[in-house]
Structure 1
Amino acid sequence: MKAVTEGAKGYRRLIPSLTALVEFEAVARLSSFTLAANELGVTQAAVSRQVKFLEESLGIRLFHRLHRSIKLTSEGEALYLVVAESMQRIAGAFDRLSNGTEQQELVLATTAAFSHFRVLPQLPALKRLQPQLQLRLTTQMFTADLRHNEVDIAVRYGNGKWQDGTSSLLFDEEVFPVCSPAWLLANGSPQTLMDITKAPLIESDRTSEGWMDWEEWFHAAGARPPRLHFALRCSLYTDAIQAALHGQGVALGWHRLVSDLLKRGELVRLVDTSVKVSESYFVVIPHGRTITPTTNSMIDWLRGDVESR
C-alpha cells in the first residue's frame, strides 16, 4: 500500500493538473480554444487559463498563437500524441466496463467508393473473423484532418505522406476499361485502344485524391485520341460504375474496387492494357490512437486481396 501511495504522489508531482491536460487535448484536437470550450461546456477564458497554466508549469510554449488560428509547437505536438493516446485508452476502458460487454466498436473512415465496392461486400467474412466487432463506417474526403474526427482507421489514396497520422501501405492500384456483359454482347469486343476511344465512355469527375480521368488514362496507355465520346458524366465514381453495370457504356475500372464485380461476372474487362498509377492506397492510424490487436486484425483484413477472402 505504501508503494501505491508514493506512486500517486509522484504522479501528482509530475502532472500538475489532469483538468489542464483534458482541456489541452481538446484545443489541440480541434485547433481552437472556442470549439474546445463549447465541447467541454466551459468558457473560452477558462480553457485559455488551463493551457497557460500547463505551459507555465512545463516552462514551454505548447501553441503558436497566430492572427486567426493556433498551431501546435513541436513540444505541443509531442505532448498531444501522448495525451490523446492515453485518453483514448482510458475512454475505451470506461466504455467497455460501463457497457458490460466484450464488444468493441471500431470506426473506419473511407471514401464512398471504397466502402461501397471494397468493404461492404466482404462484411460477412469480417463478421466470421471478428464476431465481437462493432464496425462503424464513416465516409469522408481523404484530405479530412483525422484529429478532428473520432476515427480509428482511415483508408486513403495518395503518396502516404500525411501529418495527422501514421500511414502504412495497403496495396497498389491499376486502372483499365470495364463494361457490363450485356454491353459487350451488344457492341462486340474492341480490338485496339482506338476502338475504345469511339465507344460511349462513362466519366467520373477528378477528385482531390488525384484519380485519373479517361483522357489521362489514354495518354498513359500510349494512345492519343482526337476526341472522346462521353455517354455520361458523373460526379461520383459509384454512379459511374452503376451506369456501367446497367449497360450505359464503358467506365474506368480501378482494380482494387471492381475486382469483386469482375469475379462475380457483373463487369468484364475489355482489354489487357492497364495503367499502373504512381500512388497507392494506405491505411492511416490517427495520432493518439492505440493500435490494438483488433486494429491490427482489421488492417490485415483490409490488406488481403478480395479474391482470397
Structure 2
Amino acid sequence: MRNQQAGSTQKGYRRIIPSMTALLQFESVARLNSFTLAAKELGVTQAAVSKQIKVLEENIGVQLFQRLHRSIYLTEGGETLFAIISESLQKIASGFDQITQGSDKRELVLGSTATFSHCRIMPRLASLSETLPHIRLRLATQMFTGNLRTPDFDLDVRFGNGEWDDGHALLLFEEEVFPVCSPAWLARNPIPLSLDELAGAGLLDADATSEGWVTWQSWFKDEGVNLAGLKYNLRCSLYTDAVQAALNGYGVALGWGRMVEHFIDAGTLVRLEPFVVRPKDAYYLVVPHGHCVNPDVLAIAQWLQVKTQAVQVQEIAE
C-alpha cells in the first residue's frame, strides 16, 4: 500500500513540477545572477542553460528573468520560485549531510572577517552547544567584507549600513571605537588626558580595510583634530595583531568595543576615557536571498549579541 501511495504521489508531482534539471539550472542562474557562470558551475553550455530556463518559463507560463543587454534580474515570479527552491534544496542538502555524516546535527556555514571570527565568535564557542545543540557550525573566515558576498554561506556577518542587494540584514549591534591598553602599559606610562597627549602615547595602528574600519589618523579626524605628529610604536596589516600588541603592553590600540569587550571585562585591556568615536555603520547578520529568517537564524543572531562572561584571555587565536 505504501509503495502504491508513493507511486501515486510521485506521478502527481511529475504532473505539477517541471523538469528537476530545469529547476536546478534555474536555481544556479538565480543564485549566480548569470547564465554564463551557471553553465560553468553545472558543466554544460550556456545555450543548454538558456534552453532549460526558456522551457521552464513556457511550462509554468511565467517569465522568471528580465533579460537586459548585459545583465539579468529576477522578476517577481522568479523571486518567489527562487526562494522556494533554495529553501527546499537547503533542506535536502542538510538531510544528505546528516545521513552521510551519521549525525543529527545540521551544519550551518557562517561567514565573517578574521577579526570578527577571532574577537567575537571564538570567545562564544563554549556556549554554542547550549544555545544551538542541533547545529554544527562551520566558519568560513575571510580577510575582508568584500570577500563575503558568496553563495556558499548560509549566513554572513558584515559591517556597513545594512543595505545589501543580495540578502536580508538583521542588526546585530552598533559600534564605538576608543583607545585601549594593557594594565602593564598603564603602570609604566602616564594616563593621556588630552588628544595631544594621546597622539604621543605610542600608538598601535592597523591598516584600514574594506570593512570600513578606521586608522588612528581617521579616528583623530573624526574627533575633530588633524594631527600630523602621531607617534607609532607599531603598525600592522591586521587588526588582531594590533590588539595582540596592546595585550602584550606594547602601546595603545584602537578598541572596537564589541570586539574587545571580553578583554576589558577580563581586565587584560583597559579603556582610556573619555575618548570615543561612534561610527555611522553597524554590524549586521545577512541572510542571503533564498534562505529563511527562521528560529535558528534568530538564535545565532542573539548568540552573537550576548556578552560573554569575563574570562582571562591572554592572546588572540592565530
- Interval of TM-score (by shorter of Structure 1 and Structure 2): 0.7 to 0.9
Q: CA deviation at 1:297?
A: 2.1
Q: CA deviation at 1:28?
A: 1.8
Residue 76 to residue 244, structure 1, CA distance change in 2 (3 Å):
same
Q: Give me the whole-angstrom Cα distance separating, in 2, the residues matched to 1:259 and 1:285.
A: 26
8 Å CA contact retained: 1:259, 1:307: no
Residue 303 to residue 158, structure 1, CA distance change in 2 (3 Å):
same
Q: Partner of 2:213: helix, strand, or coil?
A: coil
Match of 1:12 among 11, 14, 17: 14
Report whether the alignment pairs 1:178 with 2:183: no
Report whether the alignment pairs 1:105 with 2:107: yes
5+ residue gaps in structure 1?
none
Q: CA deviation at 1:7?
A: 6.2
Aligned residues: 308
Residue 298 to residue 196, structure 1, CA distance change in 2 (3 Å):
same
Match of 2:39 among 37, 56, 65: 37
Q: Give me the whole-angstrom Cα distance separating, in 2, the residues matched to 1:144 and 1:75.
A: 29
8 Å CA contact retained: 1:198, 1:228: yes
Match of 2:285 in 1: 283
User: What amino acid does structure 2 have at the position aligned with 1:215?
Assistant: Q
Q: Deviations over 1:5-36 (max 9, x none)?
A: 77655543443222101111112222333433
Residue 54 to residue 242, structure 1, CA distance change in 2 (3 Å):
same
Query: Identity of counterpart residues, as a percentage?
Result: 51
Q: Partner of 2:230: helix, strand, or coil?
A: coil
Match of 2:29 in 1: 27
User: What amino acid does structure 2 have at the position aligned with 1:27?
Assistant: V
Q: CA deviation at 1:51?
A: 1.3
Report whether the alignment pairs 1:210 with 2:233: no
Q: Partner of 2:253: helix, strand, or coil?
A: strand
Higher mean Cα deviation, 93-102 or 4-13?
A: 4-13
Q: Partner of 2:18: helix, strand, or coil?
A: coil
8 Å CA contact retained: 1:86, 1:288: no
Q: Give me the whole-angstrom Cα distance separating, in 2, the residues matched to 1:229 and 1:307.
A: 35
Q: CA deviation at 1:286?
A: 1.2
Match of 1:142 in 2: 145
8 Å CA contact retained: 1:145, 1:164: no
8 Å CA contact retained: 1:88, 1:290: no
Q: CA deviation at 1:56?
A: 2.5
Residue 26 to residue 109, structure 1, CA distance change in 2 (3 Å):
same
Higher mean Cα deviation, 5-14 or 244-253?
A: 5-14
User: What amino acid does structure 1 have at the position aligned with 2:245?
Assistant: A
Structure 1: 4+ residue segments shifted above 6 A: 1-7
8 Å CA contact retained: 1:202, 1:250: yes
Q: CA deviation at 1:293?
A: 3.5
Matched ranges for 1:264-283 at <5 A: 264-283=266-285
Q: Deviations over 1:120-160 (max 9, x none)?
A: 122112233334432111113323464x3321221111111
Q: Partner of 1:276: helix, strand, or coil?
A: coil
5+ residue gaps in structure 2?
312-318
Q: Give me the whole-angstrom Cα distance separating, in 2, the residues matched to 1:245 and 1:292.
A: 38
Match of 1:48 in 2: 50
Higher mean Cα deviation, 224-233 or 274-283?
A: 224-233
Residue 83 to residue 133, structure 1, CA distance change in 2 (3 Å):
closer
Matched ranges for 1:154-303 at <5 A: 154-303=156-305
Q: CA deviation at 1:70?
A: 4.2
User: What amino acid does structure 2 have at the position aligned with 1:143?
Assistant: G
Q: Give me the whole-angstrom Cα distance separating, in 2, the residues matched to 1:106 and 1:298.
A: 10
RMSD: 2.7
Higher mean Cα deviation, 91-100 or 200-209?
A: 91-100
Q: CA deviation at 1:234?
A: 1.8
Q: CA deviation at 1:215?
A: 2.4
Q: Partner of 2:152: helix, strand, or coil?
A: coil
User: What amino acid does structure 2 have at the position aligned with 1:51?
Assistant: I
